[in-house]
Amino acid sequence: MTKTKDSKTEHIILDAAKRVFQNKGMDGARMQEIADEAQINKAMLHYYYRSKQLLFEAVFKNAFALLAPQLNSILNDKSSVEEKIRNFTANYISFISKHPYLPTFIIQELNRNPDFVLQMKGKKGFPNIEKFKKQIDVEIREGILKPIKAEQLFINIMALNIFPFVASPLIKAFVNIDDKAFKQLVEDRKTEVADFIINSIKA
């Protein structure tokens, strides 16, 4: 059994760091807490990841890499706009229900350090709107869709799908519901949101 480059410990650390950073953010997280979470000596964190900043970046990139393909599906898939919206909405909400921390974490940390996104932008697999733009224009010309800017539509799709997870404490308070009812509301959105969007843009 050859030793894998990523040691077991290294993985345990990343996993613990994920949990802590996702809950507390970069500023709120403590190296000792990550070590405790991993049931490991604090020095190991530095042994494998050198610094808090680098450990954080590993976690962030990991999280981003999980999210990006989701968005690419709506930007680059071959199906029609309507199909894409229906698929994306259902899939995305399922996906995030399994990782409810993800969008909040990414958005929070990107606001803390907007330059961070520039580092990602170059890499392949980074979501890009160009293909989607062309597709929208084609479907408008074909009379399938009402005129709308692809940028605005894309923002709307993102907003309707992501926002409820980012703002859940606020929504729960305003709508005056508990966790269970909120979960049901989100579940309903798997079709609600797609209908809402398509209603609006279909010619």
Query: What is the binding site for a second copy (CB under 8 A)?
Result: 24-28, 71, 104, 106-108, 110-112, 114, 116-118, 120-121, 126-130, 146, 148-149, 151-152, 154-156, 158-160, 162-164, 166-177, 185, 188-189, 192-193, 196-197, 199-201
Structure tokens at 24: 């507390």
- Measured from the CB of residue 143, what is the shortest distance to DNA in angstroms? 57
Cβ neighbour number for residue 147 with a 10 Å cutoff: 10
- Measured from the CB of residue 151, what is the shortest distance to a second copy in angstroms? 5
**Distance of alpha carbon 88 from alpha carbon 71, whole angstroms:** 8
183 contact, one of DNA, a second copy, none, CB 5-8 Å limit per kind: none
50 contact, one of a second copy, DNA, none, CB 5-8 Å limit per kind: DNA
Instruction: Please identify, among the stretches 1-9, 126-134, 160-168, 193-201, the one whose residues bind DNA according to the rule CB under 7 A.
Output: 1-9
203 contact, one of DNA, a second copy, none, CB 5-8 Å limit per kind: none
Contact 140, 196 (CB under 8 A): no
24 touches DNA by CB under 7 A: no
End-to-end CA distance of the chain: 61
98 contact, one of DNA, a second copy, none, CB 5-8 Å limit per kind: none
11 touches DNA by CB under 7 A: no
47 touches DNA by CB under 7 A: yes
Cβ neighbour number for residue 134 with a 10 Å cutoff: 11
Contact 13, 48 (CB under 8 A): yes
Question: Which sign does the torsion angle of CA 195, 106, 64, 14 carry?
Answer: negative
**Distance of alpha carbon 117 from alpha carbon 64, whole angstroms:** 10
**Distance of alpha carbon 61 from alpha carbon 130, whole angstroms:** 23
Residues at the site binding DNA, with contacts judged by CB under 7 A:
3, 7, 9, 29-32, 40-44, 46-47, 50-53
